[in-house]
Amino acid sequence: MALLVGGRAAADGPVLHEYFEPDPKEDVMLQATAMGSDLPAAIDTPSGVVRAPDISRMPSQMEKAYGGSSTPESVDASYRIDSDTTRPDVVSYDDPFTPAVTPFKRLYAYDAVSDSLELVVEDKSLSKLAMGGVVQVTDDQFFADMTVDLEADVPVRVPSPGPMAKLLKARSQPEVRFEMLRDSADNWFIRAEQRARVRLVMQIAVPRDAFGGRYADVSFASLKPRLPSLPRSVRDDALDVARQVGITAGQTPRSVVQSLVSYFRGFAPSGERPKAGGAALYKELALSKKGVCRHRAYAFVITALAVGVPARMIRNEAHAWVEVWDGQIWHRVDLGGAAGRMELEQDQSRPAHVPPNDPYSWPEGSESGTEMADEARSSGQQPGGNGNGASGGETGDAGPGQSPSNPDGNASSGGAASPLSMLTQDGGVPRDDEDKRPTPDMSLKLGQPDVRRGHALRVMGQVSSDSQSCGGVRVDVGLKSSSGEIYLLQSIATDPEGRFDDSVMVPFHLSVGEYEVIVSTPGNERCGAALSR
C-alpha cells in the first residue's frame, strides 16, 4: 500500500518535510496569529486578503522614521497658509499602511482656527488611545508597519490610516513599554519611557464610511456641540465668502457640504500669486479660486466652520484634504489640486485600499489625489524605502515627524531620488551623462549659526540658472556629521523666482556637536541637480 506524503508516493523515498506556500485565506479562516505576536496572520479587506508584517525584523539606523522631534507642541502643530498657488511638478510619499491609503495617510490634522487665521488643534491635551475591541462588518482593516524614533516621556507623532481609527493590537521591535495617544483633531502620538528606535506594527480598523460615504441629513443644532469657536474677525470674513459662493440660510448641512465641495473642487493652480497677505489672504484665495490642495483645504475649513459645519484640514508630505462631521462619522473629502507626479517610496506590489464611491462629482480637468496615486502605481516605478513598506517618506533620520510646511510640493520631502542620499564620496552630486538639463547655481544662508535639538533652523537661499527658471524645485535640507553621516531633515520648495526661506526642525536624537548644513535639489524638468553647503 502506497503512503502519500505531500502528494508523492512513499516508494519515491521518505519525505521528512515538504514546504507548502502559506495560504492567507486559510489563516483568516483559522484565525491564525503571526509568528512571535498576537497579531492576526492575515486580515480580510475590501482590497483582498493581506498578510501581517514580519514583526521579528529589527529597525535599522539607515531607515527613515516617524516621531523624533514632531510633538504636540512643535512647529508643525499649527498651519499657516502660503501664497504660492502654482502646481508642483513632483512630490514624494511613503505609506506605512497595508492596504496602502496613498496619498491619504493622516499625519497632521487641524480642527480650529486662531485669531491670525492659522489652523490649529483646538485641544492639544492627549487622551489615551484604547487598545482592543471588535472589528465591525462596517470597518475596513489595515496593518501598519513603521519605524519610529521614540523620546523618553515625550509623545511623538505617528500617522493613522483614517479618521476615527480604532487600535486593535500593537507591538514594537525591540519590545518597549509604550502608550498610544490622540488629541482633539485625532492626531496620533506614541509615548514611551525610554528613547529608542523601534518598528511599530499595528492592526487598525476604520469605519468604511470615513473614507467617503454619504453625509447624513442632520440639523445644524445637532452639529453645534462639535463646532469650535471661531474668532469674530475670521467669522465675518468667512460668512462673507460663504454668501459670495452661494451658501444661503435655507440650506441643510448636507446641502451646504455639497455646495462647498463643488465650489472648492473648482479651484485651479495659478502662476499669478494672490496680492493679499495676512488674514486677507484667506478671502482672496477663496474668492479667486486659486490654488492647489492645501489652499482649497485651508479655505474650505474656515468657510465650513463659519456656516456651522465641523471640518478639519488633514495633510502629509504630498497632499492635503478635508474631513467633515455629520454627527456620527468624520467623512474624508478630497478637493483635488494634486501635484503633477508622485514618487512612491514603498513596495508597490502591496494592494491599494479601495474606498467607497465618491458621493461628489469632479469638474473637468481636476487633479484628484487618487488619480495622482494611480498614475504613480502604473508608471512602473521600482519600490524604494526600507524594504518593509513602512519607511517614512518625509525626513530621513529626522523622521517624517519633521513636517513640511506646505504639503503638496512646496515642502514635499524625502524621495527616492534625493541628492542627499546619493552624494559621491567626495561630497558632490553624481551627474548623469545623459542629463541635458542646465546645472543651476545654488546658494545657502542660515538664520543662526547655532541651534538646539528640537528647535527650528532657518535656511534661506536661491536656485538659479541663466537659461531656465528654477521655481518650484524641491530643496532637501540635511546635516552632515564630522564622521560623514548625512541626516535628511526636511524638504521645502522654491518660489517662482527660485528662492527658498523656511525653518526645519533639528531632531532630538542627534548627538551634540558640529554639523555641516547641506542643501541640494534633484531639479525638475527645467533645471538639473545641484548642491550647496
pLDDT of residue 29: 63
Print burial letters for 4-14: b (CB count within 10 Å at least 16), e (below 16).
Answer: eeeeeeeeeee
pLDDT of residue 522: 80
For 324-381, what is each residue's pLDDT tens digit?
999 999 999 999 999 988 888 766 678 999 999 999 999 988 889 999 999 888 875 4
Mean pLDDT of 10-27: 55
pLDDT score of 393 more than 80: no
Q: How confident is the model at residue 95 (pLDDT cuts 50, 70, 90)?
A: very high
Q: CA torsion 316→319→325→326, rounded to 10°?
A: -150
Q: How confident is the model at residue 399 (pLDDT cuts 50, 70, 90)?
A: very low
Q: How confident is the model at residue 432 (pLDDT cuts 50, 70, 90)?
A: low
pLDDT of residue 400: 38
Q: How confident is the model at residue 431 (pLDDT cuts 50, 70, 90)?
A: low
Mean pLDDT of 43-70: 86
pLDDT of residue 425: 46
**Amino acid occupying residue 169:** K
pLDDT of residue 276: 85
CA atoms of 417 and 384, how far apart (whole Å): 10
pLDDT of residue 390: 32
For 201-212, what is each residue's pLDDT tens digit?
999 999 999 999
- List, as one string, the DSSP characters of 421-488: GS--TTSPPP--TT--SPPPEEEEEES-S---TTSEEEEEEEEE-SSS--TT-EEEEEEEETTS-EEE
pLDDT score of 417 more than 80: no
pLDDT score of 106 more than 70: yes
| Top mean-pLDDT range of 54-63, 390-399, 444-453 | 54-63
pLDDT of residue 35: 64
| Top mean-pLDDT range of 46-55, 196-205, 412-421 | 196-205
CA atoms of 294 and 309, how far apart (whole Å): 19
For residue 532, give the H/E element and its range. strand 530-532
The set of cell numbers assigned to 410 is 512646496
pLDDT score of 391 more than 50: no
Mean pLDDT of 519-527: 81
**Amino acid occupying residue 31:** Q
pLDDT of residue 268: 94
For 494-509, what is each residue's pLDDT tens digit?
888 888 888 877 776 6
Is residue 151 classed as helix, strand or coil in its secondary structure? strand
> In which region does residue 447 sit, left (phi positive, over 0), alpha (psi from -120 to 50) or beta (all else)?
alpha
Q: What is the DSSP letter of 116?
A: T
Q: How confident is the model at residue 315 (pLDDT cuts 50, 70, 90)?
A: very high
pLDDT score of 423 more than 80: no
pLDDT score of 135 more than 70: yes
The set of cell numbers assigned to 272 is 499669478
For 185-241, what is each residue's pLDDT tens digit?
999 999 999 999 999 999 999 999 999 999 999 999 999 999 999 998 899 999 999
Q: How confident is the model at residue 453 (pLDDT cuts 50, 70, 90)?
A: low
Q: Where are the beta strands (DSSP E) in 101-210?
A: 108-110, 112-113, 119-120, 127-128, 139-150, 156-158, 166-173, 178-182, 188-192, 196-207
pLDDT of residue 484: 66
Print burial letters for 459-474: b (CB count within 10 Å at least 16), e (below 16).
Answer: bebbbbbeebbbbbbb
CA atoms of 531 and 533, how far apart (whole Å): 7
Per the CATH hierarchy, to which homologous superfamily does domain 423-532 belong?
Answer: Macroglobulin (MG2) domain (2.60.40.1930)
CA atoms of 234 and 70, how far apart (whole Å): 28
pLDDT score of 450 more than 80: no
CA atoms of 50 and 53, how far apart (whole Å): 9
What residues have CB less than 8 Å from 474, skipping those under 6 apart? 90, 92, 409, 412, 413, 415, 491, 492, 493, 521, 522, 524
- Count how many Cα atoms sit within 13 Å of the Cα of residue 5 in the half-sphere of its side chain: 11
Q: How far is CA 87 from CA 181, 217, 413, 498, in A?
A: 35, 35, 16, 15
* 496 close to 469: Cβ distance less than 8 angstroms: yes
Is residue 342 classed as helix, strand or coil in its secondary structure? strand
CA atoms of 60 and 65, how far apart (whole Å): 10
55 closest CA partner among 253, 262, 226, 202: 202
Q: How confident is the model at residue 277 (pLDDT cuts 50, 70, 90)?
A: confident
Give the rounded percent of residues in the chain with a pLDDT score beyond 90: 49
User: Where does the chain hold its CATH 2.60.40.1930 domain(s)?
Assistant: 423-532
Mean pLDDT of 252-258: 97
- For the ranges 111-125, 355-369, 519-533, the lowest mean pLDDT is seen at 519-533
**Amino acid occupying residue 171:** R
CA atoms of 402 and 405, how far apart (whole Å): 9
Is residue 520 classed as helix, strand or coil in its secondary structure? strand
pLDDT score of 109 more than 50: yes
pLDDT of residue 387: 34
The chain-wide mean pLDDT, for the chain, equals 82
- For the ranges 73-77, 95-99, 101-105, 484-488, the lowest mean pLDDT is seen at 484-488
pLDDT of residue 16: 52
Mean pLDDT of 442-453: 80
